[in-house]
Amino acid sequence: MAEVVLVHGAWHGSWCWDRVVTELDLLGVTATAVELPLAGLAADVAAARAAIEAAGHGSVVVGHSYGGSVISLAAAGLPNVARLIYLAAFMTETGADTIALISEKLGQSIVADEAGGFNVDPVAAPGIFYGDADPATAAEMVARLRPLTLDTGGPIEIEPAWKSVPATYVVCTNDHAIPVGAQRQMAEHAETVIQWPTDHSPFVTRPAAVAELIARYV
């Protein structure tokens, strides 16, 4: 049976998909949320690829934010993938400068820690990631964010999966992490484009809508 593979973005973890997984379960859809190590793109791609390979034929792979870069590489060449969904995600050519695509506010809010990782200022994070959420929910999410290690390896020379697999792009028009203009430009690569008046993280406040979209393709 086809399964859904969910890939989170930078600073997050598999936990961010909990509400969507619950909604998918109600719809009778099996989903796996990948826990990326956030130790560089190659390591993240390897983790996602293992989950995608284990999924059934006709599976749907969803990437949020940085997770879009991950699924573009992780799903490449795998015959069991039927659909890619980019949720306010990077959908670019391999090796593109995705840092140039983030908002100025997010760029200015990234701070280094003593261990050499990079975090997002917890004061700025709620407005950047969870603008539609109530303060308590946003605070809960921010408390679970973890450091990101910048990739120091060489480029991964793989043709992105969206060039051979049908893709849907969800543009989030109230996004303060990836500007709407950048999203719309990337969405030109997709077969289907949907616009939602949401913040960067609709899996938090609109999990049913996210699940219903995914279920269309299973």
What pLDDT does 52 receive? 97
Is 103 one of the annotated active-site residues of the chain? Answer: no
**Average of pLDDT values for 151-163?**
78
Q: What is the pLDDT of residues 179-211, one digit of tens each?
A: 999 999 999 999 999 999 999 999 999 999 999
What pLDDT does 152 receive? 54
Give the strand pairing for 81-87 and 118-120: unpaired
What pLDDT does 30 receive? 96
37: closest CA among 26, 51, 25? 51
> For residue 166, what is the enclosing H or E element?
none
Q: What is the pLDDT of residues 55-105, one digit of tens each?
A: 989 999 999 999 999 999 999 999 999 999 999 999 999 888 898 999 999
Q: What is the pLDDT of residues 110-154, one digit of tens each?
A: 999 877 789 999 999 999 999 999 999 999 999 999 999 876 555
Domain parsing of the chain, residue ranges: 4-91+100-215
For all residues of the chain together, what is the average pLDDT? 94
Where are the alpha helices (H) located in 77-134, listed in sequence order?
A: 104-109, 125-129
Amino acid at 16: C
Per DSSP, the three-state class of 167 is strand
Amino acid at 96: A
What CATH code would you report for 4-91+100-215?
3.40.50.1820
Is the pLDDT at 23 greater than 80? The verdict is yes
Considering 59, 65, 69, 109, which one is annotated as catalytic? 65
